[in-house]
Amino acid sequence: MLRAGIMGAVSDKQRDGLNKIIQTNQELTRIVSDLLTQAQLEVSTLDVFMSEINVEEVDHPCVG
């Protein structure tokens, strides 16, 4: 809402700051998710199965 200017005008500097906050939040969420997955693997509560994947979709975030 803030970034979209719904709550009032947002300067470019503020918008850049909001974008950094959102990006950092997404990265932290991914890290926490990875840590939880690792914890589940270590206590053997995560079911793992094989499936076909599209390599281009998987490597896109890595090569980005």
The DSSP code for 38 is H
The whole domain housing 25 covers: 12-63
Q: Tell me which residue has tokens 């599209």.
A: 54
- Mean per-residue pLDDT, 52-57: 76
* Cβ atoms of residues 17 and 26 within 8 Å: no
pLDDT tens per residue, range 19-53: 999 999 999 999 999 999 888 888 887 677 788 87
* Predicted local distance difference test score (pLDDT) of residue 35: 93
Query: Is 1 within the bounds of a domain?
Result: no
Query: Is 34 within the bounds of a domain?
Result: yes
Q: pTM for the complete prediction?
A: 0.57
Query: Is 23 within the bounds of a domain?
Result: yes
Query: Is 33 within the bounds of a domain?
Result: yes
Query: Is 21 within the bounds of a domain?
Result: yes
* Cβ atoms of residues 21 and 2 within 8 Å: no
The DSSP code for 5 is T
Query: Is 41 within the bounds of a domain?
Result: yes
Q: Amino acid identity, residue 60?
A: H
Q: How many domains does the chain have?
A: 1
Query: Is 2 within the bounds of a domain?
Result: no
- Dist CA 12 CA 18 (whole Å): 10
